[in-house]
Chain A
Amino acid sequence: MDEAAAVELARTLGAQHAEARLETVEENRIQLQDGELNGLTSGVETGLAVRVLVAGAWGFASSNDVSAASWRSSVQRAIDLARSVPAKDRNPVRLADAPSLTASVDWRPRKDPRSVAPEEKIELLRRMERGVRAVAGITNVTTGYSDATVTKRFADSTGTRLQWSLVRTVAQGHFTARRGGELAARSSRVGGTKGWELFGEEDPVAKAVAAAQATVAALGAPAAKGGKQTVVIDPELAGVFAHEAVGHASEADLIAAGESCFKGRLGQRLGIEGLSIRDDSTVPGGFGSFPFDDNGVRGQSKPILEDGVLVGFLADREHAAALGVAPNGAARAQDFHSRPLVRMSNTLIAPGDLPDEELFADVKQGVFCKGSRGGQVDCARGTFLFNAQEAYRIEDGRVTTPLRDVSLTGDILQTLHNIDGLGRQQRMGDPGYCGKGQWVPVCDGGPLVRIQDCLLGGAA
């Protein structure tokens, strides 16, 4: 039995809509800690997922047993679960139409990491460690490598039959510096939906060394002064802002549930002219890229803000129907154990027209923030927070002394209006993982961005 037969069985058993996924992930993970091999893991897992709609109710079943008996019992289980919720206790689900697709896509890497010997992977991490150890003041180095080869097959009752595969590869490091009783720590990461060729395009050693130097520079740095200040954020942090503050708020499931401050604002101006943000799962090599989503809809570029105006949402088939928009390939499941949710992929702020130096020139006193240590958003309230890996004072238009890591926080709608400058150079930030009950790989980026009256967390 396969995914197509499972869909047919579900239809026979009464499903108005059915979809089935078969996923295989083959992974390799290595960690070095202060020169010692601290872990080397290889493994393969295959699993199935069946989701059915019966009389407007969802039922979902998954298993990592992919035998024919397991397929059959999973289909029956999903049907039974959908029927277990009385109609009066649920909101009936409708699905927006999506074109039926038949395709097989292989995003084959130029160099398959599975063909690279583990010794070579370990040597890459050793080169990172040697580079970082050459930075005086660094006391501890942890480096990690991973590759995951993902193969998916998808079928649904509209007749869609898809198969795709891709490879994600990552090298990362975490560095600690100590001087007397002072500690500082920072991380760096290089990754993409690419194979081993990634490391010929972006040097993880150089990136790690730069991060290590910043770690040492932060030793003994004072805390930033809390309160509202003019802030310039680097492309990586600009991407995190786009992800946390704008991307999440534009997720159709949150809007339909009344959990987003973007609800009812489609077509409204939310920011300055020139401020454009999109989520794009077709970025070549982007860590969040994929050819098809887990609704069987083609991955695509999805405009969210265009010249400051809210023009679109990220939607799966279910919530597209609820909002009366078209599904745009935003349904993603962490793995076969998980049902698809509305998720981002690669979220990008478009470049503006200001030379970088001009963004700083007008700032008498402010803070320049670089790199991301993650963020979080309360979309319902419209509040976001993200944390910088590095921060520096801006004094009379010049970037001067380091500050201890700071957070930027604020009201999403107000902050969008407070953006008053966009640099000319757009760059992708580090790859990462977005959590929304499930973890999915994402990336983001943008130009240098200047924000007025941004609330910094810091010393009183």
Chain B
Amino acid sequence: MHSTTTESEAVEPVFPTLKIENKVLVVKGKTLPLYSGGFEYWRLERQRWKMLLERIQRLGFRIISTSLPWSIHEVSPGNFDFGTLDERRDLDSFLTLCNEQDVQVLIRPGPGINVELANFGFPDWVVKDPAIQARSAQDTPVVIPAGPSPFPFPSYASTKFHELVSNYLDILCPYLKRHISTDGPIIGLQIDNELSIPFMNGPFNADYSPGSIRWYHDFLQKKYENVEMLNEAHRTRCSSFEQVTPPRALIDREREALPRYLDWVEFQEYYISRALNKITSLFWVREIRGIFTFHNTRNATPKLPLNVIQVERELDIQGAGLYLGCKQYEQIRKGALYLGATSRLPFLVEAGMGIWPWGPPLNPEDQQYALLVGLMHGFRGFNIQMLVERDFWLGSPISRLGQRRDKLYPFLNRLLDVLETIQFSSLSRPVNILLLHNLECERLQAVAGSANYVTDFLGIPPELLVSENSFNFTNTIQQAYPTFWEALYMGLSRTKIPFQIGDTNLNLEDLSKYKVIFLPTYDFMSEQLQEKILNYVEQGGTAIIGPEIPFLGTDMRTCDRISETCKLSVQSPRRPLIGFSSILRIVKNEVKVGRRTVGMVASHGKGKIVYLGISFPIIDNRGDAVEIGEMLTYILQYFGQHPQGDTKSPSVDEVFLGIRGTRVIFLSNSTNQPQSIGIQVSQRIKFNDAWTGEQLEGRGSREIPLPPYGIRILEVRR
């Protein structure tokens, strides 16, 4: 649906019946809730397909997703099987059956798809070809430590790789094309899967293959336009872009050396987006168009080098994965709040139900709660991974024989009913506050990390594995920034004022939808970003920045657009602000703690910029965020934003959703203890528990019990 920008032909979609409007999928003018379940035809007995599809429909799903692994359909170079050798691989019959059964389909053809297959579904001869392999900084293959066999990951910049993918698509796409029409059944196309995988071991793990280095030069050329500007930033004397060599380890300790490292990390974002663009265009030119395109990541919150906004310039939806449990409430919420603000349609491409054999065991209660938390806080669509059990998966809601699993099946059945009743997919949430990820600081975090860039390495948390070198900045940014950001997140959660999470890649138009933005800032910030913040303020927004005021650009040369324009000056020293919050006040454009000035408020255009020269200790839970919560409440109320809801309990959240006015309230308890919340009921306002049907009527305050790790969904009836 979304046209590709650099690699594709400029042609109109063949079947322009699908669009995404206001975070909702619209098909032939009607809203289509994006609730889907994983079904792998090629792993299930063909005789059972119809019975299983009927079982899925009885459960309440109208859409399924299915992978189409390359290694399953191209059995040896140039030899394909679409049902001749193995009847389960009869894709055409399967899609025909889906159409007959009125089931719509999201296809996931890769080229990389994982689904617990050897080589993630890449054919063996592809991954073994040295001309295709991604290369590490030590010029070894980039090996993915997957079971049953580790394998070298392909370089998505390899011309030969593109040729082989094209050969496969030449055969595959005609099968797909005949099932894409105004009547379906194919409505969505996943472009590859979790494409940040080759970078998982750190910023210097991949990809140093010749094709990738060419892409790196292209990236630099786009960024700097001419080599003189690059030399200026990198402090080099290259005579052409082709002379630039990428860093292979972090060896410098001065900030002036950082631009070339930051560029290498930023290039990896470009690499992923360009790779996705390339793959999308390979489908596009084979007339696989008119359906929406999406990509997935394993985490609930996509992390660099996967740049959501950049990816959504190449395809329609950058989704997320959900393999978390009750104790990861905040992680799930952060992902939902983030994609809620940054994605066209916040989509859980893999909402885990059941698990792969080597995963940390998650029980059904964990998975049910995780999905509800995700929906409560921002996700608008989900795909159950896996709805029907198959090889290398256990504990799905439906077994491969069609048996219903006793907890997950009835849960999903009820959930789909409830979502339909409350018209969940069309509900929206007005939010005025945005907490931004500073991607420029996060790139530095990546540069200074010794491993663990994308996913867990031996279970060691990524924040543990960063260097303490300060690079002559005022702070050791890679350590200070995540601490500051997390404290803001926990503090904002305490305020009970609705907020979302975004990142600095959001454009001015999107930023301007919010009245107040929080952006942790340190010594450096690109000129473009400084300009964007100033423009946002000029148009009437309030930007709250700190604990430092940027005075350098990302080239580490003087750039003080914000401080110059707004006449801000650093207040020193920036001490941890604990024990003072109750007396933090804004007085005559100064932010004061007692008599001490810790920041200032400056006017610019129609808006304000607030500099907070304070820092916070490690606050990684809401219980420890009392003072920062009070401080942020004061600041937000000062700028006209007020708490919503009936509870001050830090572990109870209320989310108000509606089209015009509140229609539905989600209540959550994120602890293992029972909680309750008092809600005002009157003759005019009544509540109905959408899950149980319980009516809450009468007058005055009603105590609504919330079970441990419980979610309640109340319909408001006026």
Q: Do A and B bind?
A: no
A residues neighboring B (CB under 8 Å) = none
B residues neighboring A (CB under 8 Å) = none
